[in-house]
Amino acid sequence: MDTREALVVLNLLEGIGPVRVRQLLECFGDAAKVLQANRSALVRVKGIGDDLAGTIVNWQSATDLAGELKRAEDFGVRLVFQNDDEYPELLREIYDPPIVLYVKGRMLPEDKNSIAMVGARRTTHYGQDTARKLSYQLAGHGITVVSGGARGIDSASHQGALSGKGRTIAVLGTGINIVYPAENAELYERIANNGAVITQFPFNRKGDKQSFPIRNRIVAGMTLGTVVIEANKKSGALITANMAADNNRQVFAVPGRIDSPQSRGCHNLIRNGAALCENAEDILAEFEHLFPNQALGQAD
């Protein structure tokens, strides 16, 4: 077994995420050696107790590596690892970058100039129109739009980027073969043909309360900044904004109606220092030193 296959196995094992994998690699030096280690050696690694050591030792009965690789081939999905050129440069910099990314479509070097667009699933016409407009403007300036592929602001953001003939990337909180919501199947195909659909989760993994915050850290981690459009006080979009701030990335918020609960999260972000965003120019101005000259100018 080579290192890449061993990393896939570690990603398949329950309870062993990127942080523990990093600790294991620091101790054993190579993923294949981790899978060859005995239980007593594994329990000496920080964060690896007896239960997890048992999971690793018994990896052959707990995982189906051949089946996972066959599914990837059948679905036209590539596995991208941290040392691959295609792995997002900014994502490598976060505390717990994914071990492997399942990619349908293609990530390109220019995707390093990317902005996350996030917000409510239950949104107003104003929110959806604003998400489409901002994403359309960003796409016209050569900026890749990254979002989570969900209903509401996510879908509107992807659609806006596609309408602007730009690139967009959907980061899933499920296995890459699971379309959630189901009505976004056609949108996912369009995204894969004009960017990429990606996830860190293995095939057949369903979304849950744990997987979506994990997804959010990728959205925030692979982008230069995060724009929040419509979010109530408990919205998952605020988790993404906090993760962006924790990784020293710029946070933007679009103001809304003062009598709308969907505006409160954005207004609180602005109170706490997020940049107010009314158009793409507000975003571009923050990164003028990074974007190529052709990406600058007045946003329509």
Is it the case that residue 292 has pLDDT exceeding 80?
no
Beta bridge partners of 79: 102
Average pLDDT over residues 88-106: 97
Task: Check residue 63 and give its pLDDT.
Answer: 95
Q: What is the pLDDT of residue 299?
A: 45
Query: Going along 122-200, which residue ranges are E strands?
Result: 144-147, 168-171, 195-199
Rounded CA-CA distance 229/239 in Å is: 13
Looking at residue 300, what is its pLDDT?
Answer: 47
- The two beta strands, 225-229 and 250-254, are parallel
Percent of the chain at pLDDT exceeding 90:
91
Where are the chain's structural domains?
A: 3-63, 104-295
Mean pLDDT of 44-64: 95
pLDDT digits (tens, 9 = 90+) for 72-95: 999 999 999 999 999 999 999 999
Output the pLDDT for position 132.
98
- The whole-number pLDDT of residue 291 equals 64
Q: Which CATH architecture has domain 104-295?
A: 3-Layer(aba) Sandwich (3.40)
Band (pLDDT 50/70/90 cuts) for residue 38 is very high
* C-alpha span between 147 and 122 (Å, rounded): 16
Mean pLDDT, rounded, of the chain: 94
Decide: residue 296, CB within 10 A, 0-12 exposed, 13-18 middle, 19+ buried: middle
What's the predicted TM-score (pTM) here? Answer: 0.94
Give the tens place of pLDDT for each residue, 188-222.
999 999 999 999 999 999 999 899 999 999 999 99
Confidence at 296, pLDDT banded by 50, 70, 90: very low
Cα distances (angstroms) measured from residue 127 to each of 121, 122, 131, 133, 229: 10, 10, 6, 10, 6
Query: How far is Cα 241 from Cα 187, in angstroms, rounded to an integer?
Result: 24
The answer as to CATH 1.10.10.10 being correct for domain 3-63 is no
Sign of CA dihedral 188, 190, 191, 193: positive
